[in-house]
């Protein structure tokens, strides 16, 4: 069970470093094995990756550790990941994952059951893989087939993917929401995460917190699990 979080400002204003750090800390229980960050400046189409103080030493040796003095002021997108290693236990599975051409950046929570079949299909097309992770297979699937790749996936996922070629950020989750992706929007800014508690680390969102009594009633009395786009908070 990994966890993801992120912030994007559609007006391309800089996001706050302290907010993504707080959001990441709120979901650290979801990933004890590693943590990482990516900051993206859409104006310059630049991606900057960071590890965390809790990352393995081999990761910290090749990816700088994020601290409060990091120069990320121009970034209007921030992505965070908390890793729980399942398929590829090596450091090659560190996220956010950036491809070798540095054209795409992915933070992903979930498991792709048919990743071996997809890998074989991509290798037949000439794709060369650097890791054994389903994360890399997912990213290369997107590069090969665009958003149509999601129809090919068998499994569950919640993800944020930045494509430097199109200069777009894509959010996606599996069909049933087995891996949830909660989000909130105020003005031009969107926050998203695997858990609502990460969103509530943002002062603007915490100030608006209000219990959705109808959703709580439906859960407690009817056992209704699918609340559509609603949550226990309104």
CATH of the domain at 166: 3.60.20.10
Yes or no: say if 33 and 85 are a contact pair by the CB < 8 Å rule. yes
Domain assignment of residue 185, yes or no:
yes
- In the chain, which residues have pLDDT < 50? none
Domain assignment of residue 29, yes or no:
yes
How many domains is the chain partitioned into structurally?
A: 1
Domain assignment of residue 217, yes or no:
no
pTM of structure = 0.92
Query: What is the per-residue pLDDT for 87?
Result: 63
Domain assignment of residue 132, yes or no:
no
Query: What is the per-residue pLDDT for 223?
Result: 82
Domain assignment of residue 13, yes or no:
yes
User: What is the edge-to-edge ordering of all strands in the sheet holding 34-41?
Assistant: 46-51, 34-41, 77-83, 3-9, 189-193, 182-186
- How far, in Å, CA of 170 to CA of 162, rounded? 6
Domain assignment of residue 138, yes or no:
no
Domain assignment of residue 164, yes or no:
yes
Query: What is the per-residue pLDDT for 88?
Result: 62
Query: What is the per-residue pLDDT for 112?
Result: 96
Domain assignment of residue 182, yes or no:
yes
DSSP state of 59: H
Range of the structural domain that residue 33 is part of: 3-110+157-201
Yes or no: say if 4 and 79 are a contact pair by the CB < 8 Å rule. yes
């Amino acid at each position: 069970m990994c966890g993801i979080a992120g912030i994007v400002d559609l007006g391309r204003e800089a996001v706050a470093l302290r907010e993504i750090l707080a959001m990441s800390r709120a979901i650290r229980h979801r990933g004890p094995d590693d943590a990482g960050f990516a900051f993206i400046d859409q104006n310059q189409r630049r991606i900057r990756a960071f590890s965390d103080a809790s990352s393995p030493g081999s990761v910290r040796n090749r990816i700088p550790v994020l601290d409060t003095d990091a120069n990320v002021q121009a970034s209007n997108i921030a992505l965070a990941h908390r890793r729980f290693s399942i398929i590829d236990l090596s450091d090659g599975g560190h996220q956010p994952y950036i491809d070798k051409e540095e054209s795409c950046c992915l933070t992903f929570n979930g498991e792709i059951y048919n990743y071996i079949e997809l890998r074989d299909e991509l290798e037949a097309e000439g794709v060369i893989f650097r890791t054994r992770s389903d994360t890399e297979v997912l990213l290369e699937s997107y590069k090969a087939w665009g958003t149509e790749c999601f129809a090919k996936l068998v499994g569950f996922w919640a993800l944020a993917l930045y494509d430097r070629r199109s200069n777009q950020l894509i959010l996606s989750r599996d069909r049933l929401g087995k891996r949830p992706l909660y989000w909130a929007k105020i003005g031009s800014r969107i926050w998203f995460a695997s858990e609502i508690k990460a969103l509530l680390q943002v002062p603007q969102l915490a100030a608006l917190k209000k219990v959705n009594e109808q959703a709580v009633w439906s859960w407690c009395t009817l056992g209704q699990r699918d609340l559509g786009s609603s949550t226990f908070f309104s």
